[in-house]
Structure 1
Amino acid sequence: MDMHNAFSQIVPPELVKTLRTAQRVTVLTGAGISAESGLPTFRDPMTGLWEKYRPEDLATPQAFRRNPRLVWEWYAWRRELVSQATPNAGHRALVTIEQHIPEFMLVTQNVDSLHQQAGSQRVIELHGNIRRTKCFDENVVVENREESEEVPPRCPRCGGMLRPDVVWFGESLPAQAFQTAVEAAVHADVFFAIGTSGTVEPAASLARVAQRFGATVVILNLDVKPLEAPPLYHINGRAGIVLPALVHAAWPE
């Protein structure tokens, strides 16, 4: 089988043509793309010291107030996992798409920086970034803090407790970031939702917004049933396989 036929079995030829001529592409990514780099999703059962806990019981402001040490140490464990992960072929394929599209925006629900590590330039972080720390009281990011024996460490400005700069259950998304994401969905020629369950609001509404404003919408994850009904595509597969195939088919080297 030649390469062209192999790729056309993975990605619909009509979608390849649409992507090749697109001027504006918006991508929404979720935990599925990071899972291919070995990072557990929130739906995966936790292991080791944490197997008796549910993420929903730790990732809240109430949990932090109740037991700040426990929540800080859980995030320290998660940060360690993130520090060992590297971008995969799906992340890298999105970088290539960005290089070919005049107006590109990558909106991510992930907090692991793997898109930036891969080389993506235009990234909106809807749920924050686990590598950053902020003051629980002042809601201000703290850079270059001194190492401390205290768990959690203290804010150098006000003495309040530090927490990860991520959006917890019950907290609002950063307003400016979400507004920018909505505008990118409104103006998209092609909108991808990759590795996201499509159930977490308000991010899940972005695909519907894009569809309403006339975008070709591509849902790529392992939970969907295949559907090829332009301008809507459901592709059941891994980002690390499907996205490189799409890139190779659209812009052969």
Structure 2
Amino acid sequence: MDNVITQLKEIVDASERIVFFTGAGVSVASGIPDFRSAGGLYDAIEQKGASPEYLLSHDYLREDPVGFMEFCHQYLLFADKKPNPVHEWMAQLEAQGHSLGVITQNIDGLHSDAGSQKVDELHGTLNRFYCIQDSHTYTKSEVIDQYLLRCPESNGPIRPDIVLYGEMLNEQTIFSALNKLQKADTLIVLGSSLLVQPASGLISNFTGQNLVIINRDPTPFDRNAQLVIHDDMVSVIKQLQNHQ
């Protein structure tokens, strides 16, 4: 493992324009359930006899906005979850000028909570909610603390600023992510299987020098990477930071 950590350190130290691409594994390290893994959020919802895709859809929001928000409170909003050392390491590299920022599949907002400023949230974020009727905005903390189900200002439906089933990804976010990938000299993937769109399509646009993948399970891009680490990412990053 020491040799692998040495390789990782050499790549990071030699890079000037790192871009991070993160998936559910980074959130799991903060105690947030993975959506599709065995025993994850998807299974928990299905056991209650509901379709997770429907409960996370624009159709359900339109048909039962209060029921939709009750679902969010029960399954998506975690007041006690905080950034872990991986989030903090990425934010530090950005602050030091070594990183162009983060592209993430996650909606928990923990990258921003850790201090990252340049975050492309492909599926939106639970850190922002807004009223569909009058566009009044609310923070995640306000929604949790007040257990908001409707807008206190207009009594209109409220929703998180995430991409629901039946909705399109934000074009500006996609363009920003592509711009990062095209400028990057190093791409570090953390906690993503890279099996689903837009992950696999976006990663294909990286033409820089070093592709590093840190993920417990193999990905379709492992064969193209300069370094692949199938291990616990928190342990890997802590070893990296302590490596002399």
TM class by smaller structure: 0.7 to 0.9
Alignment match, 1:172: 168
Alignment match, 2:217: 223
Give CA-to-partner distance per residue, 1:13-39, whole Å, 9 cap, x none. Answer: 334222211110100111111111111
Q: How is 1:41-190 mapped onto 2 (pairs within 5 angstroms)?
A: 41-43=34-36, 44=40, 45-47=42-44, 51-80=48-77, 82-136=78-132, 140=135, 142-143=137-138, 152-154=149-151, 156=153, 160-190=156-186
Aligned residues of 1:107 and 1:126 also touching (Cα < 8 A): yes
Q: Structure 1's 201 and 230: CA in aligned 2 closer, same or farther, altered over 3 A?
A: closer
The TM-score, its normalising length taken from structure 1, stands at 0.79
CA distance in 2, matches of 1:103, 1:214: 14
Maintained 8 Å contact 1:110/1:125: yes
2:65–2:158 contact (8 Å) kept in structure 1: no
1:73-129 CA distances to partner (integer Å, 9 max, x unpaired)? 11012354x211122222222233334444421122212122222232322222222
Report the 3-state secondary structure (helix = DSSP H, G, I; strand = E; otherwise coil) of the residue aligned with 1:23: coil
Unaligned runs of 5+ in 1: 1-5
Identity percentage of aligned residues: 28
- Stretch of structure 1 that moved more, 46-55 or 171-180: 46-55
Please give the per-residue CA displacement for 1:128-185, whole angstroms capped at 9, x wherever unaligned. 22132123367x46247899x997414846x642111111123122221221111000
How many residues are treated as equivalent by the alignment? Answer: 237
Assess, with a 3 A threshold, how the Cα gap between structure 1 residues 228 and 151 changes in structure 2: closer, same or farther. closer
Aligned partner letter, 2:120: I
What amino acid is aligned across from residue 234 of structure 1 in structure 2? V
Q: How has the CA–CA distance of structure 1 residues 17 and 123 changed in structure 2, closer, same or farther, with 3 Å as cutoff?
A: same
TM-score (norm 2): 0.81
Matches within 5 A, 1:189-208: 189-208=185-204
Q: Is the 8 A contact 1:89 1:244 kept in 2?
A: yes
Partner AA of 1:224 in structure 2: P
CA–CA distance in structure 1, aligned partners of residues 190 and 84 of structure 2: 14
**Residue in structure 1 matched with residue 16 of structure 2 by the alignment:** 23
Q: Is contact 1:225–1:236 with CA below 8 Å preserved after alignment?
A: no
Confirm or deny that 1:7 pairs with 2:2. yes
Does residue 34 of structure 1 match 2:27? yes
- Give the secondary-structure state (helix, strand or coil) at the position aligned to 2:205: helix
Moved over 6 A (4+): 144-147, 225-230
Q: Can you list the C-alpha shifts for 1:190-249, whole angstroms capped at 9, x where unaligned?
A: 101211221231233222111xx2331112212217998785332212221122223433
2:58/2:164 contact within 8 Å kept: yes
CA distance in structure 1 between the aligned counterparts of 2:99 and 2:91, rounded to whole angstroms: 13
CA RMSD of aligned residues (A): 3.2
Change (3 A) 1:17 1:167: same
| Deviation, structure 1 residue 63 | 1.8
